[in-house]
Structure 1
Amino acid sequence: MKWNKHIDHMTAKGNRSLGFIKRNLHGCTEDIKDLAYRSLVRPTLEYCAAVWDPHTADQIYQIEAVQRRAARFVKRDYDRHSSVSAMITNLNWRTLAERRKIARLSVFQKAYEGYLSIPVRTLLHPVKRSTRRSHTKSFIELYSSKDCFKYSFIPRTLIDWNNLPQQIISTEDPKAFKQQLQNHFQ
């Protein structure tokens, strides 16, 4: 229930910011509207997203709906038969869920490499034996029947981390790692 209130508040704030942009930039070019959305609305929707990434379909839909409304506004296309997914692709916007996944993996990589004070290497247990699917920095995944733990930052990110290719995992520089993630998830 607590998360639903947080998401409701966040999406309401994002919608208010989008409304402000719509009222004040309705006659502007697509580039200016795009920049305004990415500068004023999307940061509201992504605030602390690396650690609170929602997992239920209705929560994800509620957040993505703000971006979908923004895409219609930027493209000036309110026809109900138009594909909003195509508009988002044309604008080169990632889904917010994908952006949150990249943020989670980037934070985890920074912790692994020692850039953050999260003792990942001491808290987690590495996989003893490599398989064809695993890489040299794989960890034993944490399982739980409780959603509050199962979908929290570390257990959820471990699954994504263990599925990354070796060439991305081998990158130690955080900026290069994030760039490789963005290329990988394109």
Structure 2
Amino acid sequence: MIGLIKICFETVEEKMFPNFYNTLIRPLLEYCVQAWSPHLKKNIEILENVQKRATKLVRQYKDMEYEDRLKVLELPKLEDRRIRVDMILTYRLIKGDKGVDYTKFFSLANIPYNLRRHSKQIARTHMNLNVSTSFFSRRVIEKWNNLTEYEISAPNVSIFKSRYDEKELNGR
């Protein structure tokens, strides 16, 4: 897709890049990411290299470092996007928005609510297989449990997204 854009356009202006990227490239990189999210470093780097190459389409930023291009173009790393998508799906499952019983994926912990934890903690279960750590139901536990009560008590998914994004922006 990046090659086709290069063939069709001599240069990509900064104003045009978000349209190209958000409609043509990123959907391919994020399609069904909850099911296939990479866990091996080499696979994560392969995906990140696609975004790295795509950000070089903007001629005036071509010689900048990748991290700087991301900041200027206001793009997160793909790994951060995958975590965000996982958190949104977890929120929707627990709230019942998806019409799927979340207990098929994980169970809530029976621990008393206190100031350090929110009320929807996911129970940690022991698995013998190392490969299971990359399963959706396993990889979301730590990140979800680190969210605040303020975030998970959002009345709808849009507010959850904005609260999550606000935390991530302030956390950087």
1:1-186 alignment to 2 at 5 Å?
A: 17-79=1-63, 82-121=64-103, 123-186=106-169
Alignment TM-score, normalising by the size of structure 1: 0.82
Name the CA shift for 1:23/1:33 in 2 (closer, same or farther; >3 Å): farther
Does the CA contact (< 8 Å) of 2:11 and 2:59 recur in 1? no
- State the Cα distance separating 1:184 from its structure 2 match: 1.5
Q: For residues 111-166 of structure 1, what are the alpha-carbon distances to aligned partners after superposition, in whole Å with 9 as ceiling and x for unaligned?
A: 11111132125751323233543211112113324233121001111211110011
Tell me, which stretches of 5 or more residues in structure 1 are unaligned?
A: 1-16
Secondary structure of residue in 1 paired with 2:16: helix
Hey, what's the Cα distance between the residues in 2 that align with 1:125 and 1:170?
15
1:13 aligns to what?
Answer: none
Secondary structure of residue in 2 paired with 1:30: coil
Alignment TM-score, normalising by the size of structure 2: 0.88
Hey, what's the Cα distance between the residues in 1 that align with 2:54 and 2:12?
14
Secondary structure of residue in 2 paired with 1:65: helix
Secondary structure of residue in 1 paired with 2:58: helix
More displaced stretch, 109-118 vs 59-68: 109-118
Q: For residues 84-136 of structure 1, what are the alpha-carbon distances to aligned partners after superposition, in whole Å with 9 as ceiling and x for unaligned?
A: 11011110001111111111111111111111132125751323233543211
Hey, what's the Cα distance between the residues in 2 that align with 1:62 and 1:147?
22
Hey, what's the Cα distance between the residues in 2 that align with 1:112 and 1:24?
45
More displaced stretch, 116-125 vs 169-178: 116-125
Hey, what's the Cα distance between the residues in 2 that align with 1:26 and 1:152?
42
Does the CA contact (< 8 Å) of 2:108 and 2:122 recur in 1? yes
Does the CA contact (< 8 Å) of 1:51 and 1:153 recur in 2? yes
**What's the % identity of the aligned pairs?**
24
Does the CA contact (< 8 Å) of 1:71 and 1:87 recur in 2? yes
Does the CA contact (< 8 Å) of 1:51 and 1:104 recur in 2? no
CA RMSD of aligned residues (A): 1.8
Q: List 4+ stretches of structure 1 deviating above 4 A.
A: none
Does the CA contact (< 8 Å) of 2:12 and 2:58 recur in 1? no
Does the CA contact (< 8 Å) of 1:18 and 1:37 recur in 2? no
